[in-house]
């Protein structure tokens, strides 16, 4: 029977710990240097409108160029067919406008003025308008934080009950490692933080957890099959045995998200980029962070597993 040669992942565990710490410090120092996160309209007062232009030369490039002359930073996305000339425009209020009573009208009028200066008076029709005020934006921030924390707590409880203490603590650290890096990266490059960003973080947590559980399940299985084997060697063997599955899953996900990133614009493009980075980091942490940490928390000895019940032991003589 051919035995797969184990790759020496554990040999480089201290390097991987150092790389992880360095990455986290880098992105969070970058976020602080940028002055914090670039909160989008979902978390700050602002306006979102769907408009239609009657000008024959209207295009998304010209709409963006027209709105660049406004006092606000607008994002523009096409809506429907190109011939319909429909666009969604979004803008966040400036810091000194947060408490303006008629903020919706102020931002809407500035957008209309900028567009009419390029396309002519009477060429803009507002089909839909949504406004998020200061109180609602603050409420959304708190709700998002609590929902995210609740989701993480449920995941952590699941890990705790499914695995032993050493497994659970290692998985929890790896699980915190991934979203911390992604959030730091988002702040460093000043990607707009929207509800899609929160969806990315939760998706990455789930993806990383799935990878970690696959590796841990193989480790637990090998503990029963290869008793007496050095635990670091056993972990290396278990990771090697699941490596092809991990790589295939990660690569196929990254390829699909790469297509989304290359052929979309706006929030969807940002979502795809963050997910590509998150999948790569989640794969790395499952192999180089979670598994070696499990051995460290177990003290270099196999975690005590509850023996499986045997039918003969259950039947009374």
> Tens place of pLDDT for every residue, the chain, 317 residues?
444 577 888 888 889 899 999 999 999 999 999 888 887 766 777 777 888 888 878 888 888 888 886 777 777 878 877 888 888 888 777 666 656 667 677 778 888 888 888 888 888 888 887 776 655 556 666 777 787 778 777 777 777 777 776 777 888 888 888 889 999 999 999 888 877 888 888 888 888 888 888 888 888 888 888 877 888 888 889 899 998 888 998 999 999 999 989 888 777 888 899 999 999 998 998 888 888 888 887 766 555 554 454 444 434 43
Strands 38-39 and 46-53: what pairing? unpaired
- Alpha-carbon torsion (258, 261, 262, 263), positive or negative: positive
Same domain, 125 and 155: no
Is the domain of 110 the same as that of 21?
Answer: no
**Judgement on whether residues 62 and 106 belong to the same structural domain of the protein:** yes
Q: Which pairs with CB-CB distance under 8 Å and at least 24 residues apart come from 137-143?
A: 137/42, 137/43, 137/44, 137/45, 137/46, 140/42, 140/43, 141/43
Residue with tokens 């919706």: 104
**Do 290 and 198 share a structural domain?**
yes
Task: Report how far residue 269's alpha carbon sits from residue 246's, in angstroms, rounded to the nearest whole number.
Answer: 25
Task: Return the bridge partners of 235, or none.
Answer: none
Task: Note whether residue 4 is domain-resident.
Answer: no
Whether residue 314 lies inside any domain: the answer is: no
- Residue 195 is assigned to a structural domain of this protein: yes
Final residue before a domain boundary, out of 132, 150, 171? 132
In a domain, 250, yes or no: yes
Residues 78 and 220 in one domain: no
* CATH of residue 182: 1.20.1640.10
Give the per-residue pLDDT at 2: 44
Rg (CA), the chain: 26
Domain final residue, candidates 78, 97, 132? 132
Question: Based on the domain organization, do 162 and 241 belong to the same domain?
Answer: yes
Q: Do 29 and 161 have their domain in common?
A: yes
Q: Are residues 282 and 148 in the same domain?
A: yes
Residues 287 and 297: their CA atoms lie apart, in Å, by 16
Q: For the domain that residue 58 is a member of, what is the CATH number?
A: 3.30.70.420
Q: How far is CA 169 from CA 20, 46, 157, 282, 301, in A?
A: 17, 41, 11, 16, 15
In a domain, 310, yes or no: no
* Judgement on whether residues 64 and 177 belong to the same structural domain of the protein: no
User: Does 1 map to a domain?
Assistant: no
Same domain, 141 and 85: no
Instruction: Say if residue 65 is in the same domain as residue 108.
Output: yes
Q: Which are the contacts of 227, defined by CB distance < 8 A and separation ≥ 6?
A: 302
Q: Which residue, of 132, 160, 176, is where some domain finishes?
A: 132
The 8-class DSSP code of residue 289 comes to I
3-state SS class at 66: helix
Strands 46-53 and 124-132: antiparallel
Total domains, the chain: 2
Q: In terms of domains, do 288 and 175 share one?
A: yes
Domain-located, residue 311: no
For residues 109 and 310, what is the distance between their CA atoms, to the nearest angstrom? 75
Judge whether 282 lies within some domain: yes
Q: Domain range for residue 54? A: 46-132
Q: pTM for this one?
A: 0.72
């Amino acid at each position: 029977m051919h035995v797969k040669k184990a790759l020496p992942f554990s040999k480089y565990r201290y390097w991987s710990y150092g790389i992880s710490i360095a990455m986290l410090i880098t992105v969070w120092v970058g976020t602080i240097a940028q002055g914090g996160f670039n909160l989008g309209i979902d978390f700050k007062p602002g306006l979102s409108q769907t408009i239609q232009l009657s000008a024959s030369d209207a295009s998304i490039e010209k709409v963006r160029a027209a709105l660049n002359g406004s006092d606000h930073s607008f994002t523009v996305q096409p809506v429907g067919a190109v011939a319909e000339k429909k666009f969604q425009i979004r803008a966040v209020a400036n810091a000194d406008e947060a408490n303006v009573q008629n903020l919706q009208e102020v931002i809407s009028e500035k957008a209309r003025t900028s567009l009419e200066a390029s396309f002519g008076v009477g060429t803009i029709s507002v089909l839909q308008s949504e406004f998020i005020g200061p109180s609602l934006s603050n409420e959304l921030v708190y709700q998002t934080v609590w929902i995210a924390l609740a989701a993480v707590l449920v995941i952590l409880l699941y890990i705790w009950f499914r695995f032993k203490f050493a497994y659970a603590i290692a998985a929890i650290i790896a699980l915190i490692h991934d979203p911390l890096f992604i959030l730091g990266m988002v702040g460093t490059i000043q990607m707009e933080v929207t509800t899609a960003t929160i969806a990315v973080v939760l998706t990455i947590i789930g993806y990383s957890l799935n990878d970690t559980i696959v590796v841990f399940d193989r480790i637990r299985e090998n503990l029963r099959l290869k008793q007496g084997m050095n635990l670091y060697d056993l972990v290396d063997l278990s990771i090697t045995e699941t490596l092809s599955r991990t790589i295939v899953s990660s690569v196929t996900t990254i390829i699909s998200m790469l297509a989304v990133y290359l052929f979309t614009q706006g929030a969807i493009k940002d979502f795809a980029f963050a997910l590509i980075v998150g999948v790569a980091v989640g794969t790395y942490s499952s192999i180089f962070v979670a598994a070696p940490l499990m051995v460290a928390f177990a003290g270099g000895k196999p975690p005590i597993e509850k023996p499986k019940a045997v039918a003969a032991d259950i039947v009374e003589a």
